[in-house]
């Protein structure tokens, strides 16, 4: 017997030791740091001045501060889910005992003993499986949460994470989904209904089972009165309230914030350039400091918000699309960006950065005229302007007019095709391709032919690439790699990436002397040529239009409209057209009547806070005046010659008539 007692004591001691070790193991493993990470603020996008401009998150719930939640909402949840919430330390032993007794009497599970703290742990940190291990983990984690956070903080986290049915995670979304209200506007009756849904969110979804949800609401109101949160009169009045379900218009993709296309590009850049996973960017509370100029972004978005600013196409069923970029040529920083019209799709097609379309005549300064100036051509150099063919290729001027010979600035200013192709043929296509490479414009092997002079490209370019290329003209011949991110900090404020550390690539495209001549011609294009509609009063604007034709036989229409323009401090690129061009979807106007006007409206707003700056280059006006004077003199000489010829011919005619009369023989 004594031996059996000793054995029994040893077994009990062993069980106590093992049990204690088991409990210590789980206690030590009760790490709630994941809860803190899980509830971090959304990733913030900061503008150039360091101001928070937009937020983005993939969290299924949208947070609201406890101070904004009405007392009766908190009381309703506590009354029905955990009425001893303010008394226990994460585990309600009385509640567990009460539940055990009730369930034993009922012969089934009719009441649970989980506290709000345990529920918070379960929905944020644990798997959904019902194992003993999970229950033990829940037990200790709940106590850790109570040690770390106040009751208000726990309730705030719970209400922002719990599921209210009908896709509504968190109280903010629930108030909007069911009542189209802010949380602070909820009535006692509405709060009780939402609190009642928590127990069985699918079964008690008011949209599917309003009667069941109302019965549960009345139970919640009774419990609120039972626990002293409502008087009997208040309980009775709340039960008489009718509930009107109104699905809120604010129910949108939780990923959508302010400046969506700019934010999309920032996330893409953070992933591709700095190697941060998109999932982490959307869930870990990063702070991303960018080159965003909010006034310019707002200016661009306001233009895109007005359909009247865009060209009308042949189809009214599909939007004429567009993409625009504003770029600081001195830094390479992207100031503003809009990648489309209509409803934005998170990380969807961004026409400002992902578009690949032929640039049309907008490429002429890059592939033809700048390398020609580098080869020694002057802006007044004569270029052939007559119908001609280059093998099987026979370009034509859009106007159908040919002058025989034109100065180079006129070919640029009026976007003449034949002189441009002739000039590329003269300097050699290799010079043109080398120039494109310096401008950062990608091309394919198939592009190595004279059609490149007019923008014929197999793949094409984006507005961002064109803005980047033209920025060299605004920055004395240097092109700085475009970027949107300056630095990235994690949720603790530690810098994890920076432009300074990564560095920006600077490319010397050409000399300042060449740039000055190009600026003279491109300023003339806006002041006197095809881009007059892009002019902004009080500012020097240089730029180039570009259009491409519909590649379908028998259809005379425009596929792409381009305008790329710039001041000494800002470059803008605009594309407009259909996403898919076919016989039913094309434009009927050229870029001078479409993309140039969009550019003008954007720049007129974007430049309001910038002082006017000058390119300090030669004005093309005197050249035009001189050319016009020469033409006028030639015309006058031609007129004088014509008059002389007229009188000479008239005199000869009179003389011939006189001779006939004088030699006439009388019949008698």
| Nearest CA-CA partner of 77 in 197, 179, 210, 212 | 197
Residue 361 annotated as catalytic: yes
Distance CA 313, CA 311 (A): 6
For 552, residues 6+ apart whose C-beta sits below 8 A from its C-beta are 582, 583
- Taking phi first (over 0 means left), then psi (-120 to 50 degrees means alpha), and beta for anything else, what does residue 636 get? alpha
Tokens representing 132 are 């003993």
Q: Note whether 543 and 599 are within 8 A (CB).
A: yes
For 104, residues 6+ apart whose C-beta sits below 8 A from its C-beta are none
Distance CA 428, CA 449 (A): 10
Residue 301 annotated as catalytic: no
What is the distance of C-alpha 390 from the center of its chain?
43
Helix axes 429-439, 417-427, angle to 10 degrees: 100
DSSP-derived secondary structure for 457-515: -SS-B-HHHHHHHHHHHHTTTEEE--BSEEEEE-TTS-EEEEHHHH---EEE-S-HHHH
- Residue in the block written with tokens 């947070």: 63
Phi, psi values for residue 660, rounded to 5°:
-65, -40
Of 114, 324, 358, 361, which residue is the catalytic one? Answer: 361
Residues 461, 504, 571: CA angle, nearest 5 degrees: 50
Tokens representing 547 are 């259009």
Distance CA 171, CA 175 (A): 6
For 383, residues 6+ apart whose C-beta sits below 8 A from its C-beta are 405, 406, 407, 408, 411, 419, 422, 423
Tokens representing 493 are 């404020």
Distance CA 601, CA 595 (A): 10
DSSP-derived secondary structure for 405-419: EEEHHHHHHTT-HHH
For 257, residues 6+ apart whose C-beta sits below 8 A from its C-beta are 42, 45, 54, 55, 56, 263
Of 81, 156, 301, 489, which residue is the catalytic one? Answer: 81
Helix, coil or strand: residue 658? helix
- Residue in the block written with tokens 């005197």: 622
- Residue in the block written with tokens 């050409």: 510
* Positions marked active-site: 81, 361
């Amino acid at each position: 017997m004594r031996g059996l007692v000793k054995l029994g004591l040893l077994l009990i001691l062993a069980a106590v030791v093992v049990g204690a070790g088991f409990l210590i193991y789980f206690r030590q493993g009760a790490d709630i740091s994941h809860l803190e990470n899980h509830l971090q603020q959304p990733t913030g996008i900061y503008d150039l001045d360091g101001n928070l401009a937009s937020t983005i998150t993939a969290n299924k719930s949208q947070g609201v501060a406890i101070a904004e939640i009405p007392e009766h909402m908190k009381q309703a949840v506590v009354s029905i889910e955990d009425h001893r919430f303010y008394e226990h330390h994460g585990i309600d032993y009385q509640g567990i005992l009460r539940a055990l007794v009730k369930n034993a009497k009922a012969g089934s599970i009719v009441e649970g003993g989980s506290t709000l703290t345990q529920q918070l742990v379960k929905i944020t940190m644990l798997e959904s499986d019902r194992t003993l291990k999970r229950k033990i983990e829940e037990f200790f984690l709940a106590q850790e949460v109570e040690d770390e956070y106040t009751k208000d903080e726990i309730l705030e986290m719970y209400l922002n994470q719990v599921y209210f049915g009908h896709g509504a995670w968190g109280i903010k979304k629930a108030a909007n989904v069911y009542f189209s209200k802010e949380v602070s506007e909820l009535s006692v009756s509405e709060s009780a209904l939402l609190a009642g849904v928590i127990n069985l969110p699918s079964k008690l979804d008011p949209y599917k089972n309003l009667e069941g949800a109302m019965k549960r609401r009345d139970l919640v109101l009774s419990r609120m009165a039972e626990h002293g949160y409502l008087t009997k009169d208040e309980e009775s009045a709340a039960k008489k309230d009718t509930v009107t379900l109104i699905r809120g218009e604010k129910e949108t993709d939780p990923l959508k914030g302010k400046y969506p296309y700019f934010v999309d590009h920032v996330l893409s850049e953070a992933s591709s350039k700095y190697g941060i996973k998109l999932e982490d960017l959307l869930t870990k509370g990063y702070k991303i400091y960018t080159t965003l100029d909010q006034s310019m972004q707002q200016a661009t978005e306001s233009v895109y918000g007005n359909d009247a600013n865009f060209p009308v196409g042949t189809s009214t069923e599909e939007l004429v699309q567009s993409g625009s970029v504003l770029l600081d040529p001195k830094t390479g920083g992207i100031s503003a960006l809009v990648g489309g019209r209509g409803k934005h799709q998170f990380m969807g097609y961004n026409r400002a950065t992902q578009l690949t379309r032929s640039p049309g005549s907008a490429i002429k300064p890059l592939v033809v005229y700048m390398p020609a100036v580098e080869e020694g051509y002057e802006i007044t150099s004569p270029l052939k302007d007559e119908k001609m063919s280059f093998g099987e290729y026979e370009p034509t001027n859009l106007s159908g007019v040919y002058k025989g010979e034109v100065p180079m600035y006129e070919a640029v200013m009026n976007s003449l095709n034949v002189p441009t192709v002739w000039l590329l043929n003269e300097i050699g296509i290799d010079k043109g391709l080398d120039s494109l490479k310096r401008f950062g414009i990608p091309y394919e092997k198939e592009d190595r032919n004279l059609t490149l002079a007019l923008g014929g490209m197999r793949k094409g370019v984006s507005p961002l690439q064109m803005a980047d290329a033209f920025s060299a003209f605004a920055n004395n011949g240097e092109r700085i790699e475009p970027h949107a991110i300056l630095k990235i900090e994690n949720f603790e404020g530690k810098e994890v990436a920076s432009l300074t550390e990564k560095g920006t690539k600077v490319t010397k495209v050409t000399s300042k002397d060449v740039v000055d001549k190009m600026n003279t011609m491109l300023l003339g294009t806006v002041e006197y040529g095809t881009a007059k509609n892009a002019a902004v009063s009080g500012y020097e604007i240089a730029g180039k239009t570009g259009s491409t034709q519909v590649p379908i036989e028998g259809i005379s229409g425009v596929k792409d409209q381009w305008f790329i323009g710039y001041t000494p401090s800002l470059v803008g690129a605009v594309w407009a057209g259909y996403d898919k061009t076919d016989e039913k979807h094309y434009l009927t106007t050229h870029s001078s009547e479409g993309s140039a006007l969009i550019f003008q409206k954007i720049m007129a707003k974007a430049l309001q806070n910038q002082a006017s700056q000058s390119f300090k280059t030669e004005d093309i006006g005197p050249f035009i005046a001189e050319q016009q004077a020469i033409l006028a003199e030639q015309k006058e000489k031609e007129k004088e010659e014509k008059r002389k010829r007229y009188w000479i011919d008239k005199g000869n005619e009179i003389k011939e008539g006189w001779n006939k009369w004088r030699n006439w023989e009388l019949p008698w």
